Structure 1
Amino acid sequence: MPKAFFIDTSRCTACRGCQIACKEWHGNKAVPTRQRGTHQNPPDLTPFNYKLVRFAEHVIDGRVQWLFFPDQCRHCINPPCKDVADSYLEGAVVQDEATGAVIYTDKTKELSIDQARDVRDACPYNIPRRDEDTGLVRKCDMCIDRVQAGMKPACVHTCCTGTMNFGERDAMLDLAHKTLAKVKEKNPKAQLLDEDDINVIYLVTEPRKLYHEYAERREQKGGPMTRQAFLAMLARPVGRMRG
């Protein structure tokens, strides 16, 4: 059975325990940061930060409010990034049948810079990042090694507020809808994001665009490739194609 995350942002305190646990479990190196007038650090996802708690500050109903969004790969049910990667190099991006996890393999380092950019551009949530030193394209892997060993992903294991949840997809959808019903009693603006397309289901309490530019699935312009756009990409110079 496919697995899924349920991320209830109404419970998130931005402790960033999930962000740190992810980095520690994968053994990713530290990324230099600096104060930019926000508690969000680093400023964006990197090849060494698969998880990033995003901070957004808004005046809502006359009050200053912080909105927190633990950003990560959504592990799409039908990942467009895999379709594009397969057009260049089969096996660079694979999808685990048992869990639904979308995994970027060591073969991604064989993709050219332009090919890696195409893979990233195909992502509806702007997630993959290329390591300029090794050429590897990297992102959240659902802690597939932990999951296969019967453990929860590191980010879920370390979450102390109940924001992060993980389990069978059907169970997570049930939990998401029950939680949404409770949250909507106090905040009718609450909603689930893109639940039919992804295996990382977010509950948000404000309009999705207030959280992050890519909180919602991109469609058409700048979003997942249409058939016409995909065929146009395949028509580019042969140097960008495999073989």
Structure 2
Amino acid sequence: MPKSFLIDTSRCTACRGCQVACKEWNELPANKTTQSGWGSHQNPQDLNPFNYKLVRFSEHLDGEVIRWNFFPDQCRHCVSPPCKQVGDMTVENAIVQDKKTGAVIFTDKTRKYSASDFEDIRDACPYNIPRRNAETGLISKCTMCNERVLKGMLPACVKACPTGTMNFGERADMLKLAEERLATVKQSFPQAMLADPEDVNVIFLLIDEPKNYHDYAVAALTPVRPLDRKEFLAALGRPFKRIADRLA
């Protein structure tokens, strides 16, 4: 059975320890950061080739109360990853799924994808996760710290988390913990829910409606599944359509 994360947002304080640990473990270069101007401490402003994890800050008004929701965003390591299904149409096994852990990994072979191939792969992801380095062509994202996990270690983000937000282990154990935590959290937050527990290996416990986190958290309302025949053929036909458009 694969490994899974449980990310319990009810315990997240936005310390960004997970974000920093991810960056340090993967030896990713620094980003030039900017202030958004509306009071958020979220930095960088989005995922990028040098940030596989990003704690998103979302503020909204609940009646007369200002609510802050924190969302440690990352690849969900889908049980049936549509990014791999689309990627294999062009370069087979540039995207692989580890049989022992369930980790979905973008290999060095992703450099062989064109910019338009990348857009197809990114479009296939319900969570808008993959990012491409424009200089090298490499497509990258969270790897589940697969090399650590295979040696019996925790992912760097989980190891660094001081509040119990980040949890990791056997999928069955994480699903059980998720249900237990959900029952507890619902006593204080009746709208609490688990996002995509059947379809992904990164399960979020949300204390609010998905729309009150960030745009792609709403994907929690849509099951992740392999592309059906119509969707598969549509994805397969996109490269030919681009060629026809250029020749027109």
TM-score (norm 1): 0.94
Residue equivalent to 2:19: 19
Q: CA deviation at 1:21?
A: 0.3
| Equivalent residues of 1:10, 1:204 under 8 A apart | yes
Q: CA deviation at 1:185?
A: 1.1
Alpha-carbon separation, structure 2, partners of 1:175 and 1:39: 30
Residue equivalent to 2:65: 63
| Equivalent residues of 1:116, 1:130 under 8 A apart | yes
1:28 aligns with 2:11: no
Label 1:98 to 1:240 Cα distance change in 2 as closer, same or farther (>3 A). Answer: farther
* % same residue: 59
Matches within 5 A, 1:1-243: 1-37=1-37, 38-217=40-219, 226-238=228-240
Alpha-carbon separation, structure 2, partners of 1:224 and 1:117: 18
| Equivalent residues of 2:58, 2:213 under 8 A apart | yes
Q: CA deviation at 1:190?
A: 0.7
Point out where structure 1 has 5 or more consecutive residues left out of the alignment: none
| Equivalent residues of 1:124, 1:224 under 8 A apart | no
Point out where structure 2 has 5 or more consecutive residues left out of the alignment: 244-248
Q: CA deviation at 1:226?
A: 4.7
AA aligned to 1:233 is A
Structure 1 vs Structure 2 CA RMSD: 1.9
TM-score (norm 2): 0.92
Q: CA deviation at 1:237?
A: 4.5
Label 1:188 to 1:237 Cα distance change in 2 as closer, same or farther (>3 A). Answer: closer
Label 1:10 to 1:219 Cα distance change in 2 as closer, same or farther (>3 A). Answer: closer
